[in-house]
Every structure is written in C-alpha cells, then in structure tokens.
Amino acid sequence: MSGEIQGAWFKAIIGSMTAASSRFPAHQRTINSMQDETWYDWEEYLRMLGELHAALGDRAVEAIAQRSAMRTLPIARARGFDSVEKIFGDFDAVLRSLVRDLPVADSARTVAFMPLAAELESGSRLPAPLLLGTFRGFLMGFGKIVTEAKMTPRHGLRRYSLKWM
C-alpha cells in the first residue's frame, strides 16, 4: 500500500512550486481543491513533485522547500516536534507524522544528532534539494543559522550533513 500525505503539507510544497511556474495549471487546480486535514496519495505527490522539480530545477526547489518548511513548522510543533532535538533526533518520526504508511524506501533516518549538527540518510524518491531545503527551513524556523547543508551519495543512499549555530 502506498502512503498518504497530509493535505496541508502537500499544498505547502506543491502549491508553492506551482505558484513559481505557470506551466502547471492542472496541478494548481488540484492543490486549490485540497483540504489541510485530508490525506492524499503519496504516489500522486511524488509524481507532481517530479514534474515540478524537472521544470524548476534544484535551486528553486530547495528555496521553495525551505520557505515551505518554515511556514509549516507549526504542523510539526503541534505533533510534538517542538525543538531542533525532537525534529532532527528522529527525522523519520517527523516524516511518518506527515505521511501515513510512508514506504520504507522513502524514509529519511537520523544517523547522528549532536547539539549543533546532524547526519541523516535516505534512499527516498524525494529530490535531494527538497530534503535539503526542508532541513534548512526547519532549522531556520527555530532561529538557527545554517552553516552547512550538503548531500553526498553513500552506498546507494544519500547522506545529508547539517551544521548550525
């Protein structure tokens, strides 16, 4: 069974992307009809995300994800992820709160967490720039200055290294 993503998060990411490109009016109509508390198909989210990522490119997707994460931080906080430690100490738990029945392959797990740094690993179908922007946005939402946010391929997965002050 494929997962389902909460409407508020789906709308925040995909809606921001469609606003950045007038080439996807059907996507924008879909987003406009969604409800925040309703759950939507994860595969449809990934399909739309892939199309928009291809059209917008890495830099735009990272910037959009950063802004979206900052705006949607209250959703995470309402679910108990109210500190940097709680978000990056177990990032998989954050994802699973936003995506029901998240496919294991799409997870992003915390490998290491320290007071000013974190390492995460994922084989997710989510674009790397989307995850990097999301990580940055959450950190900035807590008033942190991000000094490093990078991704490196490692053993068939992607390793995300984050540092902040």
pLDDT score at 1: 57
Q: Is the dihedral of CA 153, 110, 141, 139 positive or negative?
A: negative
Q: Which DSSP state fits 15?
A: H
User: What architecture is domain 4-164?
Assistant: Alpha-Beta Complex (3.90)
Q: Give the Cα separation of 85 and 104 in Å (integer).
A: 23
Q: Which DSSP state fits 3?
A: -
> Structure tokens of 132?
């990097």
DSSP 67-86: HHHHHHHHHHHHTT--SHHH
pLDDT score at 22: 76
Summarize pLDDT for 91-122 with one digit per residue, the tens: 999 999 999 999 998 999 999 999 999 999 99
Summarize pLDDT for 76-88 with one digit per residue, the tens: 999 999 999 999 9
Q: Give the Cα separation of 119 and 19 in Å (integer).
A: 32
Where along the chain do its domains lie?
A: 4-164
Instruction: Return all residues near 154 (Cβ < 8 A) that are at least 6 apart.
Output: 121
Task: Tokens 């390492």: give the residue.
Answer: 119
Which residue positions in the chain have pLDDT lower than 50?
none
